[in-house]
Structures are given as C-alpha cells and as structure tokens.
Amino acid sequence: MAELKQLPLGDFHRELGAKMVPFAGYEMPVQYALGVKGEHLHTRDSAGLFDVSHMGQAYIEVDGLGTADAHERVAAAIERVVPGEIRKLGKGRIRYTVLLNEDGGILDDLMITRLPSDEDAGRLFVVVNAAVKEQDFAYLREHLGVDAKLRVLHDRALIAIQGPMARAVMTAFIPEADDMPFMSMMDAEFEGLPIMLSRCGYTGEDGYELSVPAEEAEFVARRLVERPVVEPIGLGARDSLRLEAGLCLYGHDMTPAESPVEASLEFAIGKRRREEGDFAGAHRVLKELEDGPSKVRVGIKPLGRAPAREGVEIQSENGNVIGTVTSGGFGPTYDGPIAMGYVTPDHAMPGTKVNLIIRGKAMEAEIVTLPFVEQRYYRAPKKA
C-alpha cells in the first residue's frame, strides 16, 4: 500500500486534535472535537475553516502572455474538453464546468478562472479534484494541443473559509473581499502575503478560497482560526454540507458513465458551445439535450428516519428497479435523512413516491427538488 501524502497543514490539524483518515491518497482530517454534526452546524451558523490543499491547482497558459489574442487562444485550447463558455469569461471570473471524454462522460468537475490582470491574459487557473488530479493533468496535457501548456502548482496550498460569518472574517484581513462577486477571483495580500482569493465554495454558504504558498499555509490558517467565530472543519461535515446543498461529489454522483445532462448539470454547458458543438463528447451531450437522457440525478427524501447510503437500490412503487442512490446520509440542518441518486426520467418528477431497498426491506421515499437546504451564496445588492 502506497504511503499517504501529507498536507502542508498536517501537523497543524493534529495539534488541533483532528482525527486523521486516508482520503484520495492523503492523510486528511475527518473531524475535530466538535464532531461532524457540531462542525456542520457551526459552518451553517458562523464560519468554518477547511483545508482543501489535496485538490489539484494548475495554470493553463499560452506563449505571448498579455497579447491581444492570448485569452482567445487559451480558451480555444481548454474548450476542446469542457463544454463551458470560457472565451467570454470575464477577467477575474470563475466558471464551474466538467471535463469530458470523447463519449461525453464526466472525467471530473473543475473550476476555471480567468486571471484578473492584463499581464496574465492567456493564463487560466484551474482547480481539479484530488482523487483524479493526476489523470486530469495527463488528459489535459494530451488534449490541449501544441499552443497551450499545463503547469501544475505543486507548491500551493488551498484553504477555504465558509459560512455566514466568512465575509466578516475575510474583510478583517482583506477589506476588498467585502463586495467581491460570487464566482470571482482577485489578487490580494493577506497581512503582506500575496495570495489568490476566490469567492466560491462547496457548502452552499457564502465563502472564500485562498490559494497560498504551501510554506505559508500554517501562518494563514493560524491567523484565521484565531478569530472567535472560526472553527476547523473536517471531511465529514464537508460531505454533509455539500449534500444538503445538492452538490455533486466526483466518483459518486458523477463518473465517466454519466454525462452532464444525466447529472443535471446542463447549466455548465454554454449556449454558444451547444450551438457550435465543438467539444469532446458533444454528439452524446447534444443528443441528450434534444431527446432527453436515459437517467437523471435527483434529490431523494427518505420518509422514515433511516438513512440511505450509496449503492442502495431505488424501486418504483410497483417494485421495478429504476435507479441507485449515489450519496446519502443525515442532514443536520435539514434534520433528517437525505440522498441523491439516479432514476429513470419518468420517475424524476418531484413528489414521485419510490422505495429504497435498505437491508432487504422496502423503505418509502419521495423525489424532491434540490437543494435540501437553501444555497446562500453572496449576491451583490441591486443598484437603485
């Protein structure tokens, strides 16, 4: 068995009393003294600090940075394998999209950022999932073409702060963070340290992600957890938070077997991209947009108190197998069991009654609209 990789903040987590577990090849904190439920509720009510340094960070860039056509060229390279609209992405803005194979299956979901400065035109910042980052990077190197190059940022850590108090915490260090739009990025200084600050996250709450030099990660994390409203949060609560928010976990709620249409991620397919159809797997994706997919990702509410875990069979009321649960557990804010999974389109309407086969017994459940808990991303006040 391969030795687990260590995070830049590994010793810091242990100092805070974290229970460490293997995850995506790393030794990661799964929970702290508050416990999973306490950490979950604290994030919803206040602010939680997450170490997501296991994620893959990289630049995609072309020669001639800062020239008039540089962004157009780098966008054309990445658009070969993602269906998102990258060409029209504004400076300092972030796009959520998916990496597709030639059959239209999802290899990963990722964030693509167009850097804010004119000097960085032609350079994109990408963040991919830890479990498949090496495969992602190899795939990108193979498909970007001769014009664009991938430069992996091995020396960066990634720290997220999430929750309704995240804005106040970040503004105390970086005043300009106050009115950053959701899904935007800026170059900033954290007590004199240059960082990349993004307003995004994986909890359904307002929050930020800080890409910092690995050797400075502990300094930044310590300064953040010194704030009374901030608690460290582990993988357990990260999973329950994202499930309540209706967000996919790669390798579970989407895999190479699923298309973005089946995964209910049509919003990640840009209008121009649909019209031009010039991305990997477009033949399948466009056909499913036109004719409908064979299965659909939905929210599922068990009507009892027993949670439905990944792999649980979903049946129609008359006993026909119609799908499978891909994520499930207890939602502390929702105060009940929740799940996501795939069902046939004729059973995907909210309100449809289904049965979950748990330990050989049929348990009643209902298809519901996602998310389970309202997403509270920051929206700038509308101007009068």
- Mean pLDDT in consecutive groups of 10 residues from the start of the chain, 384 residues: 90 98 97 98 98 98 96 98 98 98 98 97 98 98 93 98 98 97 98 98 98 98 98 98 98 98 98 98 98 98 95 97 98 98 98 96 97 95 70
Residue 1 has what pLDDT?
A: 60
Per-residue pLDDT, 221: 98
Q: Which residues contact 266 (CB under 8 A, 6 or more apart)?
A: 260, 289
Where are the extended beta strands (E) located within 223-360? 230-232, 296-302, 313-316, 321-331, 336-343, 353-358
- CA distances from residue 218 to 15, 186, 238, 242 in whole angstroms, order as listed: 12, 21, 20, 25
Q: Nearest 5°: phi and psi at 63? A: -65, 155
> What pLDDT, on a 0 to 100 scale, did the predictor assign at position 383?
67
Work out the number of other CB atoms within 10 angstroms of the CB of residue 127.
Answer: 22
Q: What per-residue confidence (pLDDT) applies to 70?
A: 98
pTM value surpassing 0.85:
yes
| 104 token code pair | 């239209």
Neighbours of 195 (CB within 10 A): 22
pLDDT of residue 382: 73
- Cα-flanking dihedrals φ and ψ of residue 44, to 5°? -65, -30
Decide: 8 and 218 in contact? Cβ < 8 Å: yes
pLDDT of residue 199: 98
